[in-house]
């Protein structure tokens, strides 16, 4: 259910409980910020110690407040917070910001307090930001609200900023102001005992004044709801996420700071990509992305032209484009001829276009107009030469005239400088939301963000047919193992379960006597693979329980004897000997595990015995669309091994994508499946078949 946050974010009256005239007090600072920012509603300090604070009449208790107060800010001692919340609830005051710290982040006693706080929030159906938060800011055209103790009050704009950290949030507000980015809303979530990022996402989805949402997160309150919201919102508005905890050290710090466990970063990365969010990893990358997205133009795999008055910088930009897969094609003869009509003979008319250091504003304007006739995007590099006879903002005016002529084309600027010399040009362009950066590589990164945003929107618009599956068969197999108290499935059960989801398994049979084995070999031909099948034997290869390359009848008899000895040595009750046809092709690994935060997560990579050493795998979070599955497969470093090379045909990716998507669906349908490991799966140009199956089930709790 979407909560009504209108009065929380744009109140007409605010009460500050704990307000004090003492210099440096938190509540006093918040009350002062509300006055200084230009809040034009009613301000009411609440504190039994004072008759007035900052010249405003002060009420002694929450019970004395009018019934129509829109927002109550609590900046009081931890020991009286619960009573204050209960008093607000009893009076029908539903919008609260709890600044006070000392809750779940402060140990067992604080954790118990937060549990009791949540009970009050639920009892009175309150909209609560916090506790342990900085507050919120609204600097939109309609509202001037600084209900926080932040020293920064952003100038306003279309960006809504949701932050799990107060201190980092304030730092980013300062960075955004320096970068000229328009932040109109800022919310510090704190401990999220009440409202979470999902509640604010749902609100900003319907807020016409919000053009983009940026989130700094250390964990996810409810990942499934976050995915649902972002998947829908990203069709219309970009969502940029700076997620902390990429490294083991960072993840440990996050767990300590938030009281939540962090999921492995590769899974978080896959999750955000599938949600439709643009993930950034640094503050600098955040600024780059948000500045690029301000203009709202998102090209599809753009052909890009680089204009420069510094040849080396143009080459650097072209190299950067190549690294991120942005096409910098040769110019057509017609475009080269048009450029040669006004550029000097010394100019380079390839791509990049080196207009040399003497290029003036007219040259830039004419050249940009010419190249945008055939290109989707342009990176314009302009560094004022030592001797320059016109104001640098003349170049800006020319760029703006061309940009207005081609409103659907992307134009990004690199100045090769952060000096005062280029400031008039930068300021003029930023006022018109033309993305401007110092270094050319940063401009290329910005263009890459725009391409990713468009690709995400296109993928959100695509839909997949549901995966065909036989739930009855799957349930029967799993219930059978459960009824016998087994922690895993046999190969035969695994094959039946996978088959119910359209996942192929190689031909196999169980044998007890040599005659049965010889008959199977006669039917499918040599070479044969023989192995011990037992749910208790998790790593067959290391135990010598997999024998490959069995080429004749004598070798088959010897293999059966060897496997029987292994069964006896390890006392594997109920173990059976399994024979399989030897398949040729690429060895792959597919996996499924239940992540505690995100649910079913699937894995793909190059399989065999080296997978743990190489760790060249990719992840996706269920449910998984076919396009996502194929992109996941293509993302591994070793993907070229699946393409045609050395006379081998390319692997058909269709069955691989189906297997990945079907495993995700299996994990959603049956959460009692703790782990699936298919290693290897043998793939060729015709399809893919699992040759080793490990399926483990969660322990039943009484």
DSSP assignment of 394-422, as one string? HHHHHHHHHHHHSTTSEEEEE-S--SGGG
pLDDT for position 296: 78
Cross-strand pairs, 682: 587, 689
* 273 contacts: CB under 8 Å, gap ≥ 6: 279, 456
Fold of 471-581: Dna Ligase; domain 1 (3.30.1490)
pLDDT for position 384: 86
Asked whether 147 and 166 are in contact (CB, 8 A), the reply is: no
Around Cβ 425, how many Cβ atoms within 10 Å?
Answer: 23
Distances (CA, A) of 607 to 163, 581, 592, 604, 647: 40, 18, 14, 9, 21
Q: Which residues pair with 138 in a beta bridge?
A: 145, 185
- Asked whether 190 and 129 are in contact (CB, 8 A), the reply is yes
> What integer pLDDT is reported at residue 180 of this predicted model?
84
Instruction: Mention every residue, 6+ apart, whose C-beta is less than 8 A from residue 453.
Output: 238, 278, 293, 298
Separation of alpha carbons 175 and 678, rounded Å:
47
Q: Cα–Cα distance between 212 and 197 in angstroms, integer?
A: 14
Reading the block at residue 491, the tokens are 């190969």
Q: Give the single-character DSSP code of 298.
A: -
Q: What angle do CA 497, 503, 504 make, to 5 degrees?
A: 105
Residue recorded with tokens 């039994």: 48
Pairing status of strand 42-46 against strand 145-148: unpaired
Q: At what angle do helices 653-669 and 626-634 cross, to 10 degrees?
A: 120
Q: Which of 260, 185, 195, 674 is nearest to 478 (CA)?
A: 674
CA distance 427 to 393: 9
b or e along 296-317 (b: 16 or more beta carbons within 10 Å of the residue's beta carbon)? ebbbeebebbbbbbbeebbebb
pLDDT at 178: 85
Name the nearest CA neighbour of 311 among 273, 268, 355.
Answer: 355
Cis preceding linkage at 680, omega within 30: yes
The DSSP secondary structure of 22-36, one letter per residue, reads: STT-HHHHHHHHHHH
Would you call 24 exposed, middle or buried from its count of C-beta atoms within 10 A (0-12, 13-18, 19+)? exposed
Residues 6+ apart with CB under 8 A from 573: none
User: Which position has the token pair 């972002």?
Assistant: 230
Whole-number pLDDT of residue 608: 73
Question: What is the reported pLDDT for 465?
Answer: 81
Find the helix or strand (DSSP H, E) in which 116 lies: helix 108-124
**Helix (H, G, I), strand (E, B), or coil: what is residue 87?**
helix
pLDDT given at position 244: 82
| Token pair listed for 543 | 């135990």
Number of residues in the chain? 702
Q: Identify the segments of the chain with pLDDT beneath 70.
A: 245-263, 301, 386-388, 460-463, 538-539, 541-542, 609-613, 700-702
Class of domain 586-697: alpha beta
Structure tokens at 674: 């703790």
275 near 236, Cβ under 8 Å? no
- Per-residue pLDDT, 702: 44
End-to-end CA separation in angstroms for the chain:
34
Which superfamily does CATH assign the domain made up of 6-293 to? Answer: Succinyl-CoA synthetase domains (3.40.50.261)
The tokens describing 96, both together, are: 């609260």
304-461: which CATH number, 3.40.50.261, 3.40.50.2300, 3.30.70.1450, 1.20.120.160? 3.40.50.261
The ranges assigned to domains in the chain are 6-293, 304-461, 471-581, 586-697
Answer yes or no: are the C-beta atoms of 276 and 321 closer than 8 Å. no
DSSP state of 635: T
pTM for the whole structure = 0.87
Q: Which of 501, 462, 533 is nearest to 667 (CA)?
A: 501
Asked, colleague to colleague, whether 6-293 and 304-461 share their fold, the answer is yes
């Amino acid at each position: 259910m979407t909560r009504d946050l209108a009065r929380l974010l744009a109140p007409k009256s605010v009460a500050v409980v704990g307000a004090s005239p003492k210099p440096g007090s938190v509540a006093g600072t918040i009350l002062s910020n509300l006055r200084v920012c230009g809040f034009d509603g009613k301000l009411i300090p609440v504190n039994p110690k004072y008759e007035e604070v900052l010249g405003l009449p002060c009420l002694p208790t929450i019970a004395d407040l009018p019934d129509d107060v829109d927002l109550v800010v609590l900046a009081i001692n931890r020991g009286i917070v619960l009573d204050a919340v209960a008093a607000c609830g009893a009076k029908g005051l539903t919008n609260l910001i709890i600044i006070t710290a000392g809750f779940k982040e402060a140990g067992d006693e604080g954790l118990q307090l937060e549990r009791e706080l949540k009970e009050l929030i639920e009892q009175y159906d309150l909209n609560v930001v916090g506790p342990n938060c900085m507050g919120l800011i609204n600097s939109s055209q309609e509202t001037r609200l600084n209900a926080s103790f932040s020293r920064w009050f952003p100038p306003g704009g279309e960006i809504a900023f949701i932050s799990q950290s107060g201190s980092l949030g304030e730092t980013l507000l300062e960075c955004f102001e320096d970068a000229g980015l328009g932040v109109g809303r800022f919310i510090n979530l704190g401990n999220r005992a009440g409202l979470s990022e999902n509640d604010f996402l749902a609100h900003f989805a319907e807020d016409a004044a919000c053009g983009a949402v940026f989130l700094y997160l250390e964990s996810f309150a409810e990942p499934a709801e976050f995915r649902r919201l972002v998947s829908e919102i990203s069709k219309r508005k970009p969502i940029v996420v700076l997620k902390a905890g990429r490294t083991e050290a960072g993840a440990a710090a996050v767990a300590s700071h938030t009281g939540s466990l962090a999921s492995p970063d590769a899974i978080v990365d896959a999750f955000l990509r599938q949600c439709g969010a643009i993930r950034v990893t640094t503050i600098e990358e955040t600024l780059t992305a948000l500045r690029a997205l301000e203009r709202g133009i998102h090209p599809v795999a753009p052909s890009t032209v680089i204009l420069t008055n510094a040849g080396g910088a143009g080459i650097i930009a072209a190299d950067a484009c190549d690294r991120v897969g942005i096409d910098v094609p040769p110019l057509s003869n017609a475009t080269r001829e048009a450029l040669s009509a006004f550029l000097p003979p010394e100019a380079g008319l390839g791509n990049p276009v080196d207009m040399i250091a003497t290029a003036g504003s007219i040259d830039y304007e004419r050249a940009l107009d010419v190249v945008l006739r055939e290109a989707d995007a342009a990176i314009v590099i302009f560094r004022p030469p030592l001797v320059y006879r016109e104001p640098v903002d003349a170049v800006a005016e020319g760029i703006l005239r061309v940009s207005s002529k081609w409103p659907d084309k992307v134009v990004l600027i690199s100045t090769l400088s952060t000096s005062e010399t280029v400031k008039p040009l930068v300021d003029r362009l930023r006022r018109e939301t033309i993305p401007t950066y110092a270094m050319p590589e940063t401009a290329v990164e910005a263009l890459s963000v725009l391409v990713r945003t468009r690709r995400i929107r296109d993928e959100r618009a695509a839909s997949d047919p549901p995966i065909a599956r036989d739930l009855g068969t799957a349930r029967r197999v799993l219930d059978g193992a459960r009824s016998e108290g087994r922690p895993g499935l046999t190969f035969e059960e695994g094959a039946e379960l996978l088959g119910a989801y359209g996942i192929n398994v190689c031909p196999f049979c169980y044998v007890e006597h040599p005659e049965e084995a010889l008959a199977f070999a006669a039917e499918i031909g040599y070479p044969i693979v023989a192995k011990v099948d037992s749910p208790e034997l998790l790593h067959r290869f290391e135990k010598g329980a997999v024998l490959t390359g069995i080429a004749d009848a004598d070798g088959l008899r010897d293999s059966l004897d060897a496997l029987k000895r292994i069964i006896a040595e390890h006392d594997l009750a109920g173990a059976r000997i399994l024979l399989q046809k030897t398949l040729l092709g690429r060895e792959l690994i597919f996996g499924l595990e239940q992540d505690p935060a995100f649910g079913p997560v699937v894995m793909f990579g190059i399989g065999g015995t080296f997978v743990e050493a190489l760790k060249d795998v990719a992840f996706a979070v269920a449910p998984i669309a076919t396009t996502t599955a194929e992109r996941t497969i293509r993302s591994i470093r070793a993907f070229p091994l699946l393409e045609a090379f050395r006379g081998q045909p390319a692997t058909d990716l269709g069955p691989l994508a189906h297997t990945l998507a079907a495993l995700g669906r299996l994990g959603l349908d049956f959460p009692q499946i703790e782990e699936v490991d298919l290693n290897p799966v043998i793939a060729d140009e015709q399809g893919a078949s699992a040759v080793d199956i490990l399926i483990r089930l969660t322990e039943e709790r009484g």
